Structure 1
């Protein structure tokens, strides 16, 4: 289909799983994309690490491939730069060069945005260019644009999400089968959900980067990955999952971003990633397999849920292409996307001030007065106990305690004091509880 208008020219940085899918979708949907934009899209260069690598007969001229990414970005015939390489450097240098030169940028690079998004936003402002990054969080789920644009007339108070498919698959498998973490991870690896080195996923680094991006958009405040409290899920056991079931809960690795008052009454932001028990009645509890979902709470809009596949070449490429269409339309119209909104400058609230609930499993001596002694420790730190469950006898005596909401620092201090009691043989597990009273 010919539009009669000159093409919007694209430079693609990276041609791996996502980049290859971007190329295929650009080819397969070329006519529709031209109709939507009002001009055709044309790839004028693709930067890769190795020229000789087999790329599965991509529908693209091999002469377009180059190893000189910076040279490609600097070319005068490039309108939009698409970056799907990942990592901090050299991606940051490439993208700042593009943005300062007035070229639109579409990126899926969550690590860079979470560590130093400020540099990219400042470069975009300097060059009068668009910066789009829908694909950086939750794959094809349209999430960032609603936070960035649709909810700008509202006040978002809380964002709770499952934003890592690997860990969600593992925890869903543990819940469904009773398997331990190691078994579930092995299954996830065999099915291709987990990388050979799953550290970024299971230790929460991936989710923390996404949490920083979500919090920045939701609360109009620059939040980096370093601001996010992070706790991985490798310590979650089959016993924890079974205990959660007995409470009518399931365990998910959650990202939680909240707007509220700190200990001095000043408005602030709390951002954390950790495994947590949530009631099975909560909308996020039914999100299984490798799916992602984000639950947004706003003062006027109320509760909103975004759900879908959060990873994979095709879903991520779909989000990339959506941004490319928006950037191309803006260039043709001579307009820009909404610029960064970081006017609030809210301070980051430390984890110790976050109000949460704990589920604590204790192996204790089976003798008189144990419960009273344990309860005294909670009372000393002003932590109210919601429920107590005792099971087993003699060497197998267990206490499972669920608290009411309290500052995390009080709860952590309680657990440390419990460790010092001679009647407590061990603390089998400590998990936060979210989504309940």
Structure 2
């Protein structure tokens, strides 16, 4: 066994970084046995050096991250500071000085993964980022290695714990969005500024990474269609229940039917209660993978938090250290298919549309005509007066309103968009209350 320790520089010592440092210290003997050489924490770069960090020797702390990653004795850099800069500069500097990198930085990998992989390859280094996608859930490595001989056609997942907690509470308690968000914040699931989560930015970054790996093509966060959950109402949740569904914020990456392109999207969707993802509760994550040979696979577990994310970081650290000892590197970027990312308008799925309409005869016929004219086939229709009674075909218009819920068969998103535009132009349609896709069927 090699006796000189492999030296690790840690960038960031917050919730995740402090757990990485703790595990490296408390499990040092186990890590040595698994790697085949001792591994030593050689320095920790932080922004606030005066903060008390229990169990971490003060002599390891530095504010000069750039000098730390430039040290010739550093074998691996672990980056858990997040964001684009200075993380990107620090990672490329580490590569230039011969270090491999383990990162949990979804935003950076989703925005600039191709350049980072190229820099790693040019310097004979590894870039691993299991923790960037789904916390403790092994997902990047199974897609990149275990399914390397298979053809993945679809990845469908819940990849943000905050939004899943909010929607789960809305479903189980009948709470509105604001109430559920307040509870998520009080319990520490939501940040003081929850925008990245509730507007889908976090999930979109993860979808870009998953699509790139699954389909062997380059996908960035700018290629991902994104919708958040702030417009989801208690009425939407109730309507989903009447259909035997629940609402989830989904990341969906799939090949086109002809295999000539891929799409990646994040948005709220209704899924049947019979689908495995429907039972994912609280702040848990789960990803459903569909491939030609393996069939349907599901990965489930905690998708965030200090300990779960640190577990993924340490798993990558062990793999990278083993590669260092063997004088080799692991899988790099695989983008040989060079498939284009298709527009959202090409996506084909079902839709649930809720309309506020005049409570009078003939409205349903007008609405159905608009759907037919735009090539969108209607599956079911439910009409109800705003006063709670069913709308009656013999009524005259007394200025009242009715709620009309239309569920379609599968149609292209572009066709649905043009249909909704035409519906808004009808005098009898007073508003489009909500539009939600129906997935997983």
Aligned partner (choices 321, 345, 351) of residue 358 of structure 1: 351
The structural deviation recorded for 1:297 is 0.2
Q: Is the 8 A contact 2:110 2:209 kept in 1?
A: yes
For 2:17 and 2:418, locate their aligned partners in 1 and report how far apart those are by CA, in whole Å.
48
Structure 1 residues 201-251: Cα deviation after superposition (integer angstroms, max 9, x where no partner): 000000000000000000001100000000111000000000000000000
Q: What residue in structure 2 maps to residue 27 of structure 1?
A: 25
Q: What residue in structure 2 maps to residue 406 of structure 1?
A: 411
For 2:401 and 2:314, locate their aligned partners in 1 and report how far apart those are by CA, in whole Å.
57
Aligned partner (choices 193, 215, 238) of residue 197 of structure 1: 193
TM-score between the two structures when normalised by the length of structure 2: 0.96
The structural deviation recorded for 1:4 is 5.3
For 2:110 and 2:96, locate their aligned partners in 1 and report how far apart those are by CA, in whole Å.
20
Q: What residue in structure 2 maps to residue 182 of structure 1?
A: 178
Q: Is the 8 A contact 1:100 1:129 kept in 2?
A: no
Q: What residue in structure 2 maps to residue 435 of structure 1?
A: 440
User: Structure 1: which 5+ residue stretches go unaligned?
Assistant: none
The alignment status of 1:142 with 2:133, answered yes or no, reads no
The structural deviation recorded for 1:74 is 0.5
For 1:16 and 1:266, locate their aligned partners in 2 and report how far apart those are by CA, in whole Å.
43
Q: How many residues align?
A: 429
Q: Which moved more, 1:315-324 or 1:334-343?
A: 334-343
The alignment status of 1:379 with 2:372, answered yes or no, reads yes
Q: Is the 8 A contact 1:257 1:270 kept in 2?
A: yes
For 1:295 and 1:209, locate their aligned partners in 2 and report how far apart those are by CA, in whole Å.
17
Structure 1 residues 310-333: Cα deviation after superposition (integer angstroms, max 9, x where no partner): 000000000000000001111111
Q: Secondary structure at the match of 1:273?
A: strand
Q: Is the 8 A contact 2:72 2:97 kept in 1?
A: no
Q: Is the 8 A contact 1:9 1:79 kept in 2?
A: yes
Q: Secondary structure at the match of 2:361?
A: coil
Q: Secondary structure at the match of 1:136?
A: helix
Q: What residue in structure 2 maps to residue 286 of structure 1?
A: 279
The structural deviation recorded for 1:61 is 2.0
Q: Is the 8 A contact 1:174 1:181 kept in 2?
A: yes
Q: Secondary structure at the match of 2:261?
A: strand
The structural deviation recorded for 1:101 is 2.6
Q: What residue in structure 1 maps to residue 243 of structure 2?
A: 247
Aligned partner (choices 394, 397, 400) of residue 402 of structure 2: 397
Residues 32-431 of structure 1 mapped to structure 2, 5 A cutoff? 32-55=30-53, 57-58=54-55, 60-261=56-257, 267-392=260-385, 393=391, 395-431=400-436
Could you list the runs of 4 or more consecutive aligned residues of structure 1 that deviate by over 4 angstroms after TM superposition? none
Structure 1 residues 320-376: Cα deviation after superposition (integer angstroms, max 9, x where no partner): 000000011111111210121111110010000111111001111121111110000
User: Structure 2: which 5+ residue stretches go unaligned?
Assistant: 386-390, 392-397
Provide the aligned C-alpha RMSD in A: 1.0
Q: Is the 8 A contact 2:114 2:333 kept in 1?
A: no
Structure 1 residues 154-199: Cα deviation after superposition (integer angstroms, max 9, x where no partner): 0000000000000000000000000000000000000000000000
Q: Is the 8 A contact 1:100 1:127 kept in 2?
A: yes
Q: Secondary structure at the match of 2:341?
A: coil
The structural deviation recorded for 1:396 is 4.2
For 1:241 and 1:32, locate their aligned partners in 2 and report how far apart those are by CA, in whole Å.
47
CA 133–266 in structure 1, closer or farther in 2 if over 3 Å, else same: closer
Structure 1 residues 279-322: Cα deviation after superposition (integer angstroms, max 9, x where no partner): 00001000010000000000000000000000000000000000
For 1:9 and 1:266, locate their aligned partners in 2 and report how far apart those are by CA, in whole Å.
45
Q: Is the 8 A contact 1:5 1:38 kept in 2?
A: no
For 1:363 and 1:104, locate their aligned partners in 2 and report how far apart those are by CA, in whole Å.
57
The structural deviation recorded for 1:102 is 2.3
